């Protein structure tokens, strides 16, 4: 907008200058007084363009971009006054006016006005010196000790010609005269350069390095918006007691004013959940065992196990508690386990992952009692539209290919993924996939589970986005817990391997999931499960 105004002013000045040159070339047709007025208007217009352009270069280009600081209103006002003063002197000289008498009269007038306006002028000059020294910038946190002993603290909103505006924690804005700031003590916390401390305690029997590592990872894995990770984040043991040890987590806030009210409580909440999952806080009241038994019994892999065996699974598994909107990844979910949702709800992005070994997705297994997904039949108009888009790259054969692929595609997302393999040019393939809808997402609630292939085959979870919608509790079922249950009932690994193989193929063939390119046949899955659990048993015996 400012650039447009400068261009407009320059264009208008050009038009006036052209008119003045035209008038000078035809002086006999124009009255002398009109020529003199036009001359004054042209000079003033040139001066305005000059001042605005130079002000733009100083304030918006040099100060903002080169210095990396936000200019205040006072700085803009001061620069404009100086430039306009210089421009006025130049214009008067061009017009042939004697500026000596003007400045002599002005000095006498300024002395009288200055005596009458001593305090306002003092504030103005103090504001100018504040801009020259720049002890603080807009966005910095300052504490101001007034003459009456009152402490004012908050974020610098602006520095005007007579006062500095401070926004306090309450949201109120306090206007402090610049003269008072120049005379009294000011403490400053530069934005992003002053750290804060958050206290937390853990039992005394936990190794300090483990505590500090968990605390730091709780923020690094999913940092709050106001935490500046460009600065170091670290935790330290602070005081030792027989019943608990006090720690402090140090971090740098981007906006210091929001740290105490918003960021500190968010960090404490995040630390509680992280330390709770690691078993480093006072024991949280977990779900009742009867509720857990009902959920485990609903998983078809475990239905044939006895009540005692299912109880063993629960006892040897680990319960994890997550805050709402918390990201679940390999930092939060331990490897080689299946995760059963106990309470709350989780959103899983069912996205096709392209890897060197093929296309894979995370298995989203819903408890049949919770299955509310409607069939996503592809309508003929949609198929026709996809065919037309594909035909741009591979020709008329696209219509038959799309129609055939639509018979087995569980979703429009899947149809685009399948058909994209027919386009060999990478750039054209990307253009085609721009029409692809967002990856399907599914909400998992109590009784749903995911990661059973991690449990039975030791495969890592694909790197897709899994987040909690609300506070959620998850039961992580480990291979050792399952081995204990099978041993309790005397069930061979091959029996449950057959059940898993049957479920794996039946489920994927009728779900929203993409079929893995390296999907094994039933016999292959059984063999892999047996090999994996036999290796686990051998490892347990050695340990």
φ, ψ of residue 319 in degrees (nearest 5): -95, 130
- Work out the number of other CB atoms within 10 angstroms of the CB of residue 336: 19
Query: What dotted CATH number matches 196-278?
Result: 3.30.70.100
Q: How many Å apart are CA 148 and CA 433, to the nearest integer? A: 68
Q: What is the mean pLDDT of each run of 10 residues along the chain (543 residues)?
A: 56 64 62 67 72 70 58 64 73 65 51 47 60 67 70 76 73 74 66 79 88 91 87 90 89 82 90 87 64 89 89 91 88 87 86 40 44 52 91 92 86 84 89 83 86 84 83 92 90 85 68 50 77 80 68
φ, ψ of residue 330 in degrees (nearest 5): -65, -20
CATH class of 287-489: mainly beta
pLDDT of residue 335: 84
Cα radius of gyration rounded to whole Å, the chain: 36
Residues paired with residue 338 on neighbouring β-strands, in sequence order:
477
Cβ neighbours of residue 203 closer than 8 Å, sequence gap 6 or more: 243, 244, 245, 280
Level-2 CATH architecture, domain 25-129? Orthogonal Bundle (1.10)
- Work out the number of other CB atoms within 10 angstroms of the CB of residue 155: 21
Matching fold, domains 25-129 and 196-278: no
Cα angle at 502 between 499 and 508, to 5 degrees? 130
Q: How many Å apart are CA 527 and CA 535, to the nearest integer? A: 12
Which pair of tokens denotes residue 232? 């170091």
DSSP 143-196: EEE-TTS-EEEEEEEEE-SSEEEEE-TTS-EEEEEHHHHHHS-EEEE-TTTS-E
Cβ neighbours of residue 180 closer than 8 Å, sequence gap 6 or more: 144, 146, 147
Instruction: Find the length of the chain.
Output: 543
pTM for the whole thing? 0.57
What is residue 98's three-state secondary structure?
coil
Domain residues of the chain, as ranges? 25-129, 196-278, 287-489, 492-542
Work out the angle between the directed axes of helices 397-406 and 412-420 (0-180°, nearest 10). 140
Element holding 141 (H helix, E strand): strand 141-145
pLDDT of residue 188: 67
Exposure of 34 in the CB half-sphere (CA atoms within 13 A): 11
Q: Describe the strand order of the beta sheet including 364-365 as a list of residue ranges.
A: 318-322, 472-477, 338-343, 449-450, 364-365
């Amino acid at each position: 907008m400012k650039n447009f105004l400068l261009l407009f002013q320059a264009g208008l000045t050009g038009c006036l200058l052209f008119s003045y040159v035209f008038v000078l070339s035809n002086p006999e047709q124009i009255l002398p007084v009109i020529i003199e007025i036009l001359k004054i208007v042209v000079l003033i217009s040139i001066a305005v363009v000059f001042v605005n352009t130079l002000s733009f270069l100083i304030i918006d280009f040099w100060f903002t971009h080169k210095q990396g600081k936000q200019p205040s209103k006072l700085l803009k006002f001061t620069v404009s006054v100086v430039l306009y003063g210089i421009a006025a002197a130049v214009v008067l000289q061009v017009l042939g006016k004697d500026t000596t008498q003007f400045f002599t009269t002005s000095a006498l007038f300024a002395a009288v006005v200055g005596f009458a306006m001593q305090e306002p002028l003092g504030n103005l000059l103090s504001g100018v010196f504040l801009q020259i020294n720049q002890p603080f910038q807009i966005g910095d946190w300052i504490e101001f000790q007034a003459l009456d002993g009152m402490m004012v603290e908050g974020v610098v909103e602006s520095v005007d010609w007579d006062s500095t505006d401070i926004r306090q924690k309450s949201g109120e804005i306090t206007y402090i005269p610049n003269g008072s700031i120049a005379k009294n003590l000011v403490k400053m916390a530069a934005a992003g350069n002053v750290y804060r401390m958050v206290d937390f305690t853990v039992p005394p029997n936990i190794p300090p390095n483990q505590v500090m590592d968990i605390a730091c990872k709780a923020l690094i894995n999913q940092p709050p918006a106001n935490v500046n990770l460009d600065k170091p984040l670290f935790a330290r043991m602070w005081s030792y007691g027989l019943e608990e040890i006090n720690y402090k987590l140090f971090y740098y806030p981007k906006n210091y004013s929001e740290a105490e009210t918003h960021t500190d409580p968010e960090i404490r909440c995040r630390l509680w959940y992280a330390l709770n999952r690691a078993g480093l806080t006072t024991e949280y009241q977990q779900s009742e065992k009867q509720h857990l038994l009902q959920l485990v019994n609903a998983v078809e892999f475990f239905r044939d196990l006895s009540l005692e065996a299912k109880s063993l699974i629960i006892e040897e598994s680990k319960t994890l508690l997550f805050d709402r909107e918390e990201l679940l990844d390999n930092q939060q979910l331990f490897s080689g386990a299946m995760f059963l949702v106990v309470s709350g709800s989780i959103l899983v992005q069912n996205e096709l992952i392209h890897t060197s070994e093929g296309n894979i997705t995370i298995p989203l297994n819903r408890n049949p009692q919770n299955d509310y997904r409607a069939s996503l039949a592809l309508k003929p108009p949609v198929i026709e539209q996809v065919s037309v888009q594909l035909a741009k790259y591979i020709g008329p054969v696209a219509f038959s290919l799309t129609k055939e692929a639509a018979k087995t595609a569980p979703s429009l997302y899947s149809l685009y993924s399948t058909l994209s393999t027919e386009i060999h040019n990478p750039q054209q393939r990307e253009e085609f996939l721009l029409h692809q809808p967002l990856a399907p997402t599914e909400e998992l609630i109590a009784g749903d589970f995911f990661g059973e292939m991690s449990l039975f085959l030791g495969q890592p979870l694909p790197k897709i986005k899994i987040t909690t919608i609300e506070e959620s509790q998850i039961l992580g079922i480990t291979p050792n817990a399952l081995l204990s249950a099978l041993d309790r009932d005397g069930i061979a690994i091959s029996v449950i391997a057959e059940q898993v193989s049957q479920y794996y193929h039946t489920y994927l063939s009728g779900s929203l999931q993409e079929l893995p390119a390296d999907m094994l046949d039933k016999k292959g899955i059984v063999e892999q499960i047996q090999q994996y659990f036999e290796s686990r048993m051998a490892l347990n015996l050695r340990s």
